[in-house]
C-alpha cells in the first residue's frame, strides 16, 4: 500500500480543531428572523449576479442565505422553484441537498465513535465482514469517509443504470444489491486504500455500518442523531416511502436544450438521499460549526483534520464529509456538489464568521453555481466590516464617530447616513436623495457625523469604491483561461475596472 502524500494539512492536529471550535461565537437565528428578512436590504449586486443566470436560461431559480454579525440575516431568491407553479424558492421549501447527506452520515458515525461503539480506524472486515468487499481487511471506515477506499464507484456500472439519464430515475436497488454488482464487475481496487478516488460506494458502505452499529434504518439514525438535535423539522432521509410535499422545490436538467426533464422523483441512493429546507441547512451548519449539539469538540477536530493529496483543485482540501476551500478572499468550510436536478454550495466563511448558502434547482452547468458563489463571497469579503457603533446601540445626540475596518479589497469609502433604512440601502454616489453622503480616502476608516437630532433612529452604510489594479485584472483573466479548460462553454463574468462593493446597513439611535 502507498502512504498518503500530504501536500497541505489544515487543522493538522486535534488541538487546532479544538481551538477553532472554541473560538466561534454563536449567532443563531429564530424563525421570526427568517420571516422578517427584508429582500430590499439585499445588495443589488447580489440580485443582479443571480438574475443573470436566470435571464440566460441556465438555471430555473436560485436561493441565497447569508448570515453574519455584520450582515445579519439576508435572503435573496430569483427565478422559480417549479416551472409548473411559477413560485419563487422559499427558505421553508424542501430541497434535495445531495452531497450534504455525506456530512450528516459522517457526523452520525463520529457520534458513535465518541460513544465508544466503533473506531474510525477499524477495518471493514471487522465492521461488516469480509463479504462487503474482497479487500475489506485492507480498508478502514475512515478511508470510506475520506473517499479513499479505492472501491469502484457504483454509478459508473452500466448494468445498474444509475447514470444521469432521466429514464433510469425510478430504478430501485438495495445497498446490498449495489455492492454485489460492484464486487461482481469491478472487484479490484482502483487505487490503494488511503489514496483519494471519488466513489459514492464509500458512503453506501458507511451507511450500512451506521445501521449495523445503531441497529436502526439510516433514516431513523439521521432523524435522531442529526435532524432532531439540530431542530431540523423540515428534513428527512428519503426512502421513497414518504410522499413528497406539494411545495417541494423541483429539480431540472436540460434547461437550455430540447431535453428538459424534471428530476424531483429520482429514486435516491444512500450518499445523496437527504431532503432539507434551506433554513434547516442553516440550522445544521450552525450546529456543526458553532456548538456541541452535533459533535463533541474532539469529534469536530477529527472531522476537520483536512488534507489535500489528490489531483483535484489545488485550493480544495477534504475532511470527513466536508471540504475546505482556499480562495483569494479567504477560507470557507462546507460542502459543494450536485445530483441530477440539484446543486448546492453551503459554507462557513471563517474570516468573517459568515454563512453563505446557495441552492440552485438544476445541475446542468457545474460552473454556474461555483462562479455565482465566488461572486457573492467576493462582495462579502471585500465590503467594510466590524462597524462601530454596533447596530442597535444608543448614542448621545449631536455628533458621533462612525468607524469600520477595511475589507479584503481596498479603495476609498462612501459613507451614507439617513433616517430611512430603505433610502440608505438604495443610495448611491450618483443618487442619494434624503441621505447624507461623506467620502473618505483609502487610509481613513472613520468619519465624524454631526447634527444628529435627539430621539431619532439613524441608518448608515459604508461602501468600498475602487479601481482594480492591473495585477488583479490579469489574475482574473488567468482564472478564466484555467476554468475554460474544464468548461469550454463557460460564460465568465469579468469584474469591471471600476467597482463599488456595497456594505451592510447598520442603525443607531440618539438619546
What is the SS3 string spanning 67-112?
EECCCEEEEEEEECCCCCCCCCCCCCCCEECCCHHHHHHHHHHHHH
Which residues touch 220 (CB under 8 Å, ≥6 apart)? none
Instruction: Examine the fold and report which residue of 381, 414, 433 is the final residue of a domain before the chain moves on.
Output: 381
Domain that holds residue 376: 8-28+94-381
Average of pLDDT values for 289-294? 91
pLDDT band at 313 (very low <50, low <70, confident <90, very high): low
> Is 389 found in the same domain as 360?
no
> Is 222 found in the same domain as 109?
yes
> Is 394 found in the same domain as 255?
no
pLDDT of residue 5: 30
pLDDT of residue 310: 54
Evaluate if residue 479 carries a pLDDT over 90. Answer: no
> Is 237 found in the same domain as 357?
yes
Assign residue 494 the CATH number of its domain: 2.60.40.10
447-476 pLDDT, tens per residue? 999 999 999 999 999 999 999 998 888 888
Evaluate if residue 372 carries a pLDDT over 50. Answer: yes
Average of pLDDT values for 15-37? 48
> Is 394 found in the same domain as 301?
no
210-256 pLDDT, tens per residue? 999 999 999 999 999 999 999 999 999 998 777 889 999 999 999 98
pLDDT of residue 326: 80
Q: How is 108-134 classified by DSSP, letter by letter?
A: HHHHHHHTTS--TT-BHHHHH-GGG-T
pLDDT of residue 438: 97
Instruction: Examine the fold and report which residue of 354, 381, 408 is the final residue of a domain before the chain moves on.
Output: 381
pLDDT of residue 473: 87
Lowest mean pLDDT among 63-72, 307-316, 328-337: 307-316
Distance from C-alpha of 13 to C-alpha of 303, rounded to nearest angstrom: 11
Q: What pTM does this model have?
A: 0.91
Instruction: For residue 495, report the phi and psi dihedrals to the nearest 5 degrees.
Output: -70, 135
pLDDT of residue 39: 65
Q: Are 200 and 157 in contact (CB under 8 A)?
A: no
Distance from C-alpha of 347 to C-alpha of 337, rounded to nearest angstrom: 12
Question: Before 389, cis peptide (omega within 30)?
Answer: yes
pLDDT of residue 309: 62
pLDDT of residue 37: 63
pLDDT band at 92 (very low <50, low <70, confident <90, very high): very high
> Is 479 found in the same domain as 330?
no
pLDDT of residue 461: 96
* 195 within a domain of the structure (yes/no): yes
pLDDT of residue 314: 59
Cell 430569483 -> residue: 78
The total of structural domains in the chain comes to 2
> Is 237 found in the same domain as 153?
yes
pLDDT of residue 333: 93
Four-residue CA torsion sign, 467, 470, 473, 475: negative
Instruction: Examine the fold and report which residue of 357, 381, 405 is the final residue of a domain before the chain moves on.
Output: 381
Instruction: For residue 418, report the phi and psi dihedrals to the nearest 5 degrees.
Output: -165, 175
More confident residue, 257 or 198: 198
* 506 within a domain of the structure (yes/no): yes
- Return the closest-CA partner of residue 503 out of 460, 472, 439, 471: 460
> Is 296 found in the same domain as 408?
no
pLDDT of residue 170: 77
More confident residue, 460 or 25: 460
% of residues, the chain, pLDDT over 90 = 68
Distance from C-alpha of 95 to C-alpha of 169, rounded to nearest angstrom: 17
Assign residue 120 the CATH number of its domain: 3.40.710.10
Distance from C-alpha of 332 to C-alpha of 316, rounded to nearest angstrom: 10
Grid coordinates given for 227: 435532524
412-442 pLDDT, tens per residue? 999 999 999 999 999 999 999 999 999 999 9
More confident residue, 328 or 62: 62
Grid coordinates given for 246: 406539494
DSSP H helices, 191-313, are 201-214, 218-222, 228-230, 278-290, 297-303
* C-alpha distance across the termini of the chain, in Å: 71
> Is 240 found in the same domain as 200?
yes
pLDDT of residue 3: 33
pLDDT of residue 1: 33
Distance from C-alpha of 166 to C-alpha of 113, rounded to nearest angstrom: 39
> Is 404 found in the same domain as 358?
no
pLDDT of residue 466: 95
> Is 164 found in the same domain as 286?
yes
Which residues touch 292 (CB under 8 Å, ≥6 apart)? none
pLDDT of residue 171: 77
pLDDT of residue 15: 38
Mean pLDDT (the chain) is 88
Amino acid at each position: 500500500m502507498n502512504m498518503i502524500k500530504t501536500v497541505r494539512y489544515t487543522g493538522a492536529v486535534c488541538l487546532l480543531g479544538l481551538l477553532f471550535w472554541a473560538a466561534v461565537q454563536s449567532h443563531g437565528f429564530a424563525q421570526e428572523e427568517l420571516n422578517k428578512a427584508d429582500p430590499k436590504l439585499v445588495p443589488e449586486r447580489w440580485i443582479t449576479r443571480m438574475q443573470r443566470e436566470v435571464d440566460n436560461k441556465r438555471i430555473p431559480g436560485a436561493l441565497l442565505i447569508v448570515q453574519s454579525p455584520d450582515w445579519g440575516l439576508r435572503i435573496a431568491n430569483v427565478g422559480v422553484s417549479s416551472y409548473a407553479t411559477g413560485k419563487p424558492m422559499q427558505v421553508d421549501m424542501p430541497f434535495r441537498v445531495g452531497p450534504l447527506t455525506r456530512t450528516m452520515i459522517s457526523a452520525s458515525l463520529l457520534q458513535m465513535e465518541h460513544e465508544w461503539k466503533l473506531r474510525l480506524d477499524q477495518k471493514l472486515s471487522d465492521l461488516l465482514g469480509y463479504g462487503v468487499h474482497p479487500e475489506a481487511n485492507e480498508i478502514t471506515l475512515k478511508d470510506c469517509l475520506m473517499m479513499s477506499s479505492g472501491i469502484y464507484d457504483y454509478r459508473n456500472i452500466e448494468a445498474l443504470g444509475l447514470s444521469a439519464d432521466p429514464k433510469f430515475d425510478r430504478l430501485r436497488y438495495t445497498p446490498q444489491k449495489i455492492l454485489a454488482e460492484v464486487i461482481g464487475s469491478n472487484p479490484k481496487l482502483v487505487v490503494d486504500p488511503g489514496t483519494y478516488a471519488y466513489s459514492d460506494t464509500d458512503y453506501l458502505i458507511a451507511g450500512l455500518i451506521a445501521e449495523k452499529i445503531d441497529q436502526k434504518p439510516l433514516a431513523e439514525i439521521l432523524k435522531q442523531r442529526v435532524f432532531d438535535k439540530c431542530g431540523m423539522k423540515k428534513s428527512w432521509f428519503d426512502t421513497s416511502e414518504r410522499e413528497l410535499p406539494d411545495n417541494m422545490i423541483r429539480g431540472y436538467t436540460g434547461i437550455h436544450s430540447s431535453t428538459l426533464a424534471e428530476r424531483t422523483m429520482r429514486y435516491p441512493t444512500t450518499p445523496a438521499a437527504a431532503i432539507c429546507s434551506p433554513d434547516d441547512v442553516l440550522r445544521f451548519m450552525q450546529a456543526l460549526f458553532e456548538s456541541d449539539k452535533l459533535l463533541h469538540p474532539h469529534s469536530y477536530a477529527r472531522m476537520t483534520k483536512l488534507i489535500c493529496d489528490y489531483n483535484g483543485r489545488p485550493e480544495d482540501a477534504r475532511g470527513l464529509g466536508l471540504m475546505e476551500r482556499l480562495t483569494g478572499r479567504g477560507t470557507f468550510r462546507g460542502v459543494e456538489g450536485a445530483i441530477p436536478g440539484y446543486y448546492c454550495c453551503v459554507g462557513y466563511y471563517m474570516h468573517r464568521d459568515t454563512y453563505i448558502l446557495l441552492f440552485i434547482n438544476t445541475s446542468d452547468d457545474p460552473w454556474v453555481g461555483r462562479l455565482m458563489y465566488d461572486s457573492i463571497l467576493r462582495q462579502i469579503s471585500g465590503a467594510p466590516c466590524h462597524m462601530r457603533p454596533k447596530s442597535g446601540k444608543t448614542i448621545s445626540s449631536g455628533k458621533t464617530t462612525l468607524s469600520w475596518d477595511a475589507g479584503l479589497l481596498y479603495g476609498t469609502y462612501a459613507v451614507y447616513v439617513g433616517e430611512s433604512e430603505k433610502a440608505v440601502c438604495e443610495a448611491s454616489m450618483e443618487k442619494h436623495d434624503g441621505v447624507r453622503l461623506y467620502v473618505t480616502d483609502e487610509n481613513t476608516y472613520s468619519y465624524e457625523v454631526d447634527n444628529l437630532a435627539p430621539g431619532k433612529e439613524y441608518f448608515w452604510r459604508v461602501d468600498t469604491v475602487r479601481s482594480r489594479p492591473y495585477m488583479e485584472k490579469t489574475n482574473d483573466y488567468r482564472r478564466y483561461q484555467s476554468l475554460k479548460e474544464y468548461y469550454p462553454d463557460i460564460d465568465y463574468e469579468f469584474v469591471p475596472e471600476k467597482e463599488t462593493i456595497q456594505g451592510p446597513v447598520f442603525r443607531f439611535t440618539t438619546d
